[in-house]
Structure 1
């Protein structure tokens, strides 16, 4: 998540605010099961659930994360495979150094990449984001076992993209939810294609050093589909706060050139995702902020 006033949604995950990461408990579980003793150094900035910096016995530092309500075999079939494919092509995503099932959750220890999320996405950063997105094309053609992205336009997602909260919020929210369902009735529920899809590709999940993008993180919701979904997510991320002049306009021009049968269902998904999340988790007035953007293309 970004830390801007309107905030951007985290990767689709079935988490609640009560399920925040407890790094001391998790490193104790890692030690009990593997004999590896990690030292917690402190929380990583940002995020709804959180991540923590840890140090290995040999001194190198990593990022500790967890996924409640998740099975390790599901992660291996999806996001972990996606990251292996990307890294094999030189894409700057973190490696997974340890993955462990702890009760009903998965504990992940991932490579700490250099850099920090930029507060703003400037034109240089947008150029890099567009190039990275283009490089995701077709990479999963040989990995059909990676699950396709579900848009949840007619059904609820697991903890996100919930329809009922939006219907109950206001007449405006209910009208948007009806438009989302209308799009869902006219399009397949799963994204077509063999591209890598990050699912939460916004500038809060980019890392940069001196303005140069050095990595893309938070691949926990990654799947297979059409990479251009991530460009729609990026546009919603820009709406979370003020950006340098012309950046959003440039991205809008890219979206304007997309086929309607790609843009419309992806936009409907992000509209539902952000408006529903705002209704349930953000300050009361912020929902209107997301409805404003959603209605621009629905």
Structure 2
């Protein structure tokens, strides 16, 4: 009823889960003229702060040339948090073989996001990808020598970097494509104010996980072309991205296979590539 009131529909005609059998949900409706579709994100009341990050960041990104869904409405109560956004026709599926043009487009998109003017808008500071997950605790529960060594190497290192808008979980699975072009950047729950390296390294790591180490170079090339300057502290941010993964890659594997339609990937392949990416970043750090 809440969705129908927002969109002016007469009746719900479709409800379909879009991720792992649950939220977000594709909602379809009909009315006297035609009807339409939207995406409903449902969370607990405790997740209202996360929803607020997305609801704040998306219009800012939109104003600065980032393709994002329009926010149609939101509601927060003692029981739940709801966010209704525009449905955009597109796919997150990615090719089995690396596509340099796509990878460069992803890097360029990270640069476009970063240069959005935040002004006095309040967003949390973001210093690593997916900051809502305690990766330190995951390493404690399941020790991994390389991750532990990398975490020790990074401890106390805080390069000075300009801050701008960052997505906070930028990877191909959070983009929608149509005819070879990015038509939407979605899932802004981890958005905030932070260094450009957060999103750049996140994309570079995911490119390496999905296609091998050479793929991350195309992401960097796209970012530097769009930003018109060299990226700073690339080795540091690559190491940060590598450390902030589950020791056994956990849900990263299942999410990647499902979101970008890559059933050819395996946990063993992705772990080997993650460890190689992180080892290389540590070597470049010295």
Q: Mean Cα displacement is larger for which, 46-55 or 266-275?
A: 46-55
What corresponds to 2:126 in structure 1?
A: 149
Deviation, 1:149, is 0.4
Look up the SS of the partner of 2:75 in the other structure. strand
What corresponds to 1:278 in structure 2?
A: 249
Structure with greater strand percent = 2
Residues 1:111 and 2:86 are matched in the alignment: yes
What corresponds to 1:250 in structure 2?
A: 218
Look up the SS of the partner of 2:74 in the other structure. strand
Q: Is the 8 A contact 2:238 2:278 kept in 1?
A: yes
Tell me the alpha carbon deviations over residues 174-220 of structure 1, each in whole angstroms, 9 at most, x when there is no partner.
Answer: 442242243131217xx954421111111112211121221111111
Aligned length: 258
Ranges in structure 2 where 5+ consecutive residues have no aligned partner: 225-229, 254-265
Look up the SS of the partner of 2:183 in the other structure. strand
Deviation, 1:118, is 3.1
Q: Is the 8 A contact 1:194 1:226 kept in 2?
A: yes
What corresponds to 2:240 in structure 1?
A: 269
Task: Determine which of 155, 175, 195 is the counterpart of 1:206.
Answer: 175
Ranges in structure 1 where 5+ consecutive residues have no aligned partner: 1-27
RMSD: 3.7
Tell me the alpha carbon deviations over residues 29-83 of structure 1, each in whole angstroms, 9 at most, x when there is no partner.
Answer: 8689999864543122x5596422102454110112123354546643x322211
CA shift in 2, pair 1:218/1:48, >3 Å: farther
Look up the SS of the partner of 1:61 in the other structure. strand
Q: Is the 8 A contact 2:127 2:195 kept in 1?
A: no
For residues 148 and 135 of structure 1, the distance between their equivalents in structure 2, rounded to whole angstroms, comes to 18
Look up the SS of the partner of 1:145 in the other structure. coil
1:172-251 correspondence to structure 2 within 5 Å: 173-187=144-158, 193-242=162-211, 247-251=215-219
TM-score after normalising by structure 1: 0.70
Q: Is the 8 A contact 2:50 2:189 kept in 1?
A: no
TM-score after normalising by structure 2: 0.73
Task: Determine which of 25, 33, 38 is the counterpart of 1:62.
Answer: 38
CA shift in 2, pair 1:50/1:294, >3 Å: farther
What corresponds to 1:19 in structure 2?
A: none
